[in-house]
Every structure is written in C-alpha cells, then in structure tokens.
Structure 1
Amino acid sequence: MTPSPNIILIHCHDLGQYLGCYGVDIETPNTDQLAEEGARFVNHYTAAPQCSPSRGSLFTGLYPHRHGLLGLAHTDWELDIKQTVPYRLSKHGYETHLFGLQHISETPDDLGYDEIHTAGSLSPDVSPEIHSINRAKDVADTVASYLNAGIESPFFASVGFFEAHRIEMEEDEEEGDVLYGFGGRYEGDDPDSIEIPSFLPDESGIREDLAAMRGMVYAIDDAVGKILDAIKSAGLDDETLVLFTTEHGIAFPRAKGTCYDPGIEGCLLMWYPPLIDAGMASEHLVSNVDILPTLVDLVADEVPHEVDGHSLLPIFDGDLRYYPRDEIFAEITWHDMYNPVRAIRTNRFKYIRKFWHLPRVFLPNDVYASLAGREVRGHYGRPSRVYEELYDLKSDPDEQENVADDEAYAQIRTELMSKLSTWMHETDDPLLNGPVIPQDYDRMFDGIM
C-alpha cells in the first residue's frame, strides 16, 4: 500500500443513492464498476439534507452547527474554521486541487487549495449559465487532462459536479410561476418506463421529473467513467484512493430539505485496490463527518481529536478494530427559510425534533416550484407541523406512521430524545439558546436592538 496515496474525492449534487449499485432501476455502469471493484456503504447518511451545511461536514468532519454553515454558503453563512481536508492534507505533503463545484465558501482561496481549476470559485446557482460551467462532462475533461499531464504525487483533488441539481426553467405560462426542472441538455428516460421510489406518490409530475433527472445521473456516471479511465491510463491505479459521494438526497418531496431517510441518505463508494477488497458492501451506520478523519488517518495514522467523525479505515484493515456507531445525527437550521430540525437515527429507529412552526413537510424552493412539488404541496404545505416524530424503520422504512405518541414506543422515544438532547448540549448547539439568527440579520439590527 502506498504510504501517501493520491486522493480524488468526487462529489455531486442531490443524488442520494439513486444509482444502479444501490438497487435503483437505472443503468450506471461506471459507478457500479466503482462499487464492484471497491466498497459500497449501504447505510451512509449525511449530516444535513441540504448542500452547504452537508458539504461543510464532508470537508471538516464536524456537524453544521460546529463548522458555521447553518445555511447556504451563498447567503448569510460561512465556514468559521480553516481545518478543511485540503488544509490538513497540505500539512502532510499533499498538493491540493479544486476542480469544479465546491459551494462551502464564497472565498474559495481560503479553503486551502494550492490550485483552483475551472469554476471552483462560483457558487452553484440554479441558473443555466452557472450550471453550464460546472457540468460533469466539462469538469471531468479538465480532471482527465490534469491526470494525463505527468503530475507529481501525492495530490488531493476535489472534483465537484453541478448535476443533479434542479435549474430554473422558463416561466410556466399555464401556472404563472417559475418552474424548476432538470434542463433540456440531458436525454432522460420515458416517464412511463421507470419505477417510482416507494416514498413518493405515483403521479405524472413525479414521473416526468424523475425521468428528466435520470439524464443528469447518466451525465454524472459518464464523468466518473472518464476520470476512472484517466487514472488507469496514467498508471495511477494502485496509488490512488477514489471516493464518490453526494451531499444529500434527491430533490424531491420528503427528500431534500428533510431529515427523513430519502433526505439524508447519500451514496458512498470507495476504491483503493491495495486496501479495499473488491465488491465489499458495508452495512455499518456511517456519516459523512467520517470522511475527513478517514483521510487523515490514512495519510498520517491519526484521527484529529476535535472532529465529530470516526475513521472508517478499520473496516478495511483486519488488523484494526472498528467500533460501530450506534447512531448518526442530522440537522437543518436555515435553507430558503428558518426551519430548525434535529434528528437521530439508529439501525432501527428515527427520532426527529422540530423547533419551529412550519408546514408539515418542508419543500425547498426548487422542489416546491417543480412538477413533482405541485403534486404534493397542497397536502404537505399545510401548517400542521408535528414537533416530534418517531419511526420504526423495520416495519415502516418509508417513515409514514409516526409512533411518537404510541405507548408501546414510549421507552424508545425517551431514550432517543435523551440522546439527541445530550448530543446538542455536548456539541454546543446554538439552537439551545433560542432562534438562530443569520449573520446579516445581526448587522441589520446592530444599534437598533
């Protein structure tokens, strides 16, 4: 095993686990190959069901309320530490590169990269113009050229694709409002030919949006294949760790923007032949806060004591003992609006605590103003929020039956509520002190209140 392997972290938008290797009825041969030749994490969840906070956790190993991104980076929030993956790996002799999307800072020069390629400095705006700059195809072309140019090792490359984020389409004349979809550049599938995830209703708007999104998934898969081919043609197979992941679930109702499983699930594939056995499928409960400590452990044989994540290396190394997680945590505070939610998930149960009066199921703007959103927003949008939710994932994997008030689950509810409260206190969650105000609001009211 190479002492300091090259590391390529490929990440995309809003994909969840919508891949063939996760059992979806879609052909994704390149990501499937990555799973077949490496490891697939079956129970991988993200720290937040939204972009910037989750990406901040991926790159710092900290939960959102600990790294500062309690909302989107292009609005009122910013990372308040400089302990990202590139900073840490630079200390161990790595040359660090940013390709394409990042969306954790408006000032990417502060993220610790030695070189920023393509459009890494831009936030992933939903406009077609910005989307076109960070397209998977174009970013992958740049990465492939870099890999085949005779590079120096070891290097770390963050490779970010815009897909599969919704984009703002032309105004819908019939409905008289903005419509968010998946663009006209991608060849999707026949809406009548696809399977609908069990947590979504089988309605025409759902089918049309899913069919269109699949075109973006094909673009992601093609780009992954191009990068894998470049790694092999450059002769870097045995000295490069490749990770492929996303920041949260698909941009559909009861997924993106919620702490239900379809909102916080994320693919996680890892490929490194000298260490990872081909075809490994880990059932362990893992979080994206575990990525940074895993990388630092791999290159420096240590795990930073201040991070929230755990190293995953012992899962691959039989000489090391892995201590499985009993639970993972997830949160959302701000997205399009104030929406404070905290959640804890075990292998069998999910407990969700909501702290504000909003509609029963939150729909981010791009989901609300979509064909899929129109199918459900009359039902989900009613202001009938329940502040506590408990689900038995064994009997109710789609989280449809809230058993928080069921006496048979009283002990489980008490235990998970206590664990969630303890976690919030131990991590100094600002929500414990009342409503969390964005930085711009502080400046707005400075001298008035």
Structure 2
Amino acid sequence: MKKPILMLFLLLSVTTAFTQQRPATRPNVIIIMADDLDSRQLSCYGGQNLKTIHIDALAADGLKFNHIYTSEAMCVPTRASLFTGLYPVRHGSFQNHKPVYDTLKSVGHYLADLGYRVGLTGKDHSTKPKTVFPFEIVNGFEPNCVAPTDEYSLDGVQEFITRNTRPYCLFVMSINPHTPWTVGDTTEFKADKLILPTNWVDTPITRRQFVRYLAEVRRLDDQVGDITRLLQQTGQDQNTIVVFLGEQGAQFPGAKWNLWDVGQKSSMLVKWPGTVKPRTETDALVQYEDITPTLIELAGGKPIAGLDGRSFLPVLLGKSPKARTYAYGIHNNIPEGNPYPIRSIRDTHYKLILNLAPDQEYYNRFMMNAEQRGRNSVWFSWTDQAASDPEARQITERFVKRPAVEFYDTQADPWELNNLATHPTAQKRIEQYRQELEKWMQQQGDTGAALDVRYTKKTE
C-alpha cells in the first residue's frame, strides 16, 4: 500500500473510532399523559371501539410496555409518584388530594441539575409546593381536569421546545378522558355497537356514558397527533424521546379508586428514534415510580439514593427483558369514601389483594352517592338491574362486599373475576406473596388500615 493511501486509511480509522466513542447528544423528552384512561380501549392494546391513530403510531415507531402499573389508582398519588420516584406513603400523597411532604425533591430538581429545562403544561395536580415541583409552567393546555372544555394552544409548547439548544423535558398533561366527559365528537360512536368491558353491567345509561367517554379518548388521541406533528414541523422529532402514559383507569365502577387491574394497570409507549426499535413490545414489569430514575439515567445522571423506583433504561436499550420482580399497590379510600384500605402485590402472572377492612362495605362518593343519582347514573343503573338480573347482582355485590383475600391468575383471568384465594393449590404462592407484601409495607412505613384516616389540613 502506498504511503499517502496508508496515511489516509489510518486517519479515517482514527476519525471513525473517535466518532463512535463520542457520547450522543442528550435527547429531549416529551411525556404526554392521559387522565383516567382505560388503556384497554387503545387499539394498540387491543381496544375495538375506536382506532387510536396517533397513539398507535407511537407504538408502531417504538416500544410498547405490557406491564406498567400505578401504585395507587387515583390522580394525585400517581402523579406524585411519577415526579418523585417514591411510593405514596413515602411522598405523602397516599390519599387523593393529600399534599406531598414539602421536604422532597422531584424530577424538576434532578433533571435541572443535569442541565435540562423541565416544563409542564396542562393538568397541574401535584405541582405544589414549588419548592418540591420547580416546573416551568407552560401555557397552552387546560389545567383543570373537571373543566367543561379543554381548548388548547401549541404556541407555548412551541416556544418552550425551540427556545434554545439546552435539552428539555416537557410534561404535556391532558385532562382527557377525565369526567365530566363534555368534549369530543360523540357522533363517531353508536351506543348499541360498543363492546363493553367484561366486568360491567350492560345498561342503556352505561352505553350512553361510554359513548361520551370514548369521544374524549378520541380527543386525547388528536392531542397526541398535534404534539407529534409539532415536533416534526420544528425539526425536534429526531432527537426527542416521546413517551405516552395512560395514568390509571376510568371513573367507572371497579376501575379508578380500586386495585383491580382495570384501575391499576396502565399503558406506556416509548418512541426514541435511532435507539428504541420500532414495533417492539416488552413484558418487563414497571411502575410509575420507575420513570424519574430512568429519566435521570438517560440524561447522564447517577442514581439518586433513597428513591423507590429503579431505572428501566436497560429495557429501552434492549439490554434486558426485565426491570423489577414485583409491582405494589396501595389504596386509601378517604376522602373519596369511607375508610377502605387495600394493598396489593403482583408480578406478570399472579396478583394478591388484601382488603384490610373486609367487614365494611366499599363506598365511593363520586360513583355511589344516592343523593346524586343523576351524576352517579351508571352505578344506580347497575343496582337497579341487579334487582332482577343475577349476573348484575353478582357484579355489584362483588364491588361492595369484598373478602379479606383475593388472588388471581391474571394471565388466565385478566378481568380478575375468579378469586383463587381458597383454592388449595394456591396457598403456598399466596403466602409467598403475602410475605413479600408485608415486607414492602414495613419498609415503606405503611401501617395499613391505620393509615386510612382523616388528616388535618396543613394551613398555609
């Protein structure tokens, strides 16, 4: 080989090696979160009532998580867990609308320390106090989840993502499909054609309300499409990770405010161009507490001591099929009803639920208030039908009167209708799960039923 050619070859080799070793530009992150989404309605998760075009596009371009769970199936605890990386007992929001402890740090601190701008637009639950949640609040999306409208603008989002070259993490928090189900086009859906969840009582009122709910799922899907188009139009799409999160289940009986999977099981899609393989899925078990540790690691940070969550970045990178062994659940019913504490533990196959006050009847004021039958019309249409329909009676009684122990094979019984708690062959496994759950409760400082009491509101 002639010397000039040899020198050129060596130069190119050194340059190529240097380029491959150079760290890639740190990615931006946009996290789009739903509000009370029944993730089973998403067509990429098997839903048959509508085609969620834009959410499905994220699944086609990225990684779908089949086992992501919220630890407490209500808005404030879920969001506090997402932002802090802590389970509810440790961050303080272990009842709905109970504030976090004001001594904590959150993703706003951790990513800012790594040079990121951290913003939030839309539903603003769990953004106070500012000392705990130092988000830049971005105008554009509706912050009030019970607003009768959800008019939004992308101007503030566009300004935030194009402001400068510093990497950013932006939380886009939709209020859809949270009640009152007053937005979206209901004419797309025919009530008599809908496929209802298996654990529902089929009544005309239920179908009419489900139409209104699905119209807001469509509205959510359109918002996802608007955000992804904005990334393309601004040239942000190639270096931006897009994460879609489903939050907890819908405000229908048996879902939100419970620890059955229709309340606790969520959805997560991750699009990361050039890193995450398109059209892939994983059975790795993750919880909302794991998201902040993952963001910290992908931003180049070191693990934060004391967090409950753990990074699932190896799953995103295709280096591991697993993330954690168990997912845990906690429910405290006050202030949304009578004291009715519940705890749970699961893996990807089995689930143990402990009802810590089984002598009481479950009650939720947002769904079962007899003085507001108009607003609670779905539940009372179920109980009215239960008077003459044995199947409806079984569903409603199961909801109100619960045994101390529930144990389910969630692969064979995804709607958790066949309780195996007294089955002889399940006893050894139940004891194993119970020991793990009690160990977790002790580690968390969770006193169980004693935690589900009324607390004095902190004065400002």
TM-score bin (small chain):
0.7 to 0.9
Distance in 1, Cα, partners of 2:136 & 2:203: 48
Moved more, 327-336 or 38-47: 327-336
2:166 is the alignment partner of 1:153: yes
Match of 2:378 in 1: 372
SS in 2 for 1:339: coil
- CA change 1:255–1:115 in 2 (3 A) is closer
Distance in 2, Cα, partners of 1:238 & 1:5: 9
Match of 1:447 in 2: none
1:16 to 38, 47, 53: 38
Is residue 77–residue 439 contact of structure 1 (8 Å, CA) maintained in 2? no
Deviation at 1:357, TM superposition (A): 5.0
Is residue 82–residue 289 contact of structure 2 (8 Å, CA) maintained in 1? yes
SS in 2 for 1:440: coil
User: TM-score, length-normalised on structure 1?
Assistant: 0.85
Deviation at 1:79, TM superposition (A): 4.1
Match of 1:264 in 2: 264
Deviation at 1:198, TM superposition (A): 1.9
Q: How does 1:15-94 map to 2 (within 5 A)?
A: 15-17=37-39, 18-25=41-48, 26-73=50-97, 76-94=98-116
Match of 1:282 in 2: 282
Deviations 1:360-419 (CA, angstroms, capped at 9, x unpaired): 555451576433222335753785332221112233221112221222211111111111
Moved more, 258-267 or 195-204: 195-204
Distance in 1, Cα, partners of 2:144 & 2:240: 28
SS in 2 for 1:192: helix
- CA change 1:323–1:348 in 2 (3 A) is closer
- CA change 1:216–1:185 in 2 (3 A) is closer
2:113 is the alignment partner of 1:99: no
2:157 is the alignment partner of 1:143: yes
Flag the structure with larger Rg. 2
Deviations 1:168-216 (CA, angstroms, capped at 9, x unpaired): xxxxxxxxxxxxxx12654351111221122223222222121111110
Deviation at 1:307, TM superposition (A): 1.4
2:408 to 377, 381, 391: 391
2:442 is the alignment partner of 1:428: no
Deviation at 1:321, TM superposition (A): 4.5
Moved more, 378-387 or 7-16: 378-387
- CA change 1:403–1:313 in 2 (3 A) is same
Distance in 1, Cα, partners of 2:365 & 2:326: 26
Moved more, 283-292 or 352-361: 352-361
What one-letter code is carried by the residue in structure 1 that aligns with 2:32? I
Count of matched residue positions in the alignment of Structure 1 and Structure 2? 416
Deviation at 1:152, TM superposition (A): 3.4
- CA change 1:112–1:370 in 2 (3 A) is same
Deviation at 1:440, TM superposition (A): 1.6
- CA change 1:118–1:222 in 2 (3 A) is closer
- CA change 1:435–1:300 in 2 (3 A) is same
2:364 is the alignment partner of 1:351: no
Percentage identity across paired residues of the two chains: 25
Match of 1:170 in 2: none
Deviations 1:231-284 (CA, angstroms, capped at 9, x unpaired): 011111221111110320122111111100100111101111121111111112
- CA change 1:144–1:226 in 2 (3 A) is farther
Match of 1:240 in 2: 240
RMSD (Å) for aligned C-alpha atoms? 2.6
Note the residue ranges of structure 2 that are not aligned, 5 or more in a row.
1-22, 370-374, 387-392
Match of 2:186 in 1: 187
- CA change 1:119–1:396 in 2 (3 A) is closer
Match of 1:311 in 2: 311
What one-letter code is carried by the residue in structure 2 that aligns with 1:20? S
Distance in 1, Cα, partners of 2:132 & 2:139: 15
2:345 is the alignment partner of 1:331: no
Moved more, 405-414 or 222-231: 405-414
What one-letter code is carried by the residue in structure 2 that aligns with 1:343? S
Deviations 1:277-334 (CA, angstroms, capped at 9, x unpaired): 111111122211111111001012432231122211111324x446442221011113
Distance in 2, Cα, partners of 1:29 & 1:228: 12
Distance in 1, Cα, partners of 2:205 & 2:411: 29
User: TM-score, length-normalised on structure 2?
Assistant: 0.83
Distance in 2, Cα, partners of 1:405 & 1:442: 44
Distance in 2, Cα, partners of 1:81 & 1:43: 31
- CA change 1:400–1:360 in 2 (3 A) is farther
SS in 1 for 2:277: coil
2:434 to 401, 417, 426: 417
Note the residue ranges of structure 1 that are not aligned, 5 or more in a row.
168-181, 444-449
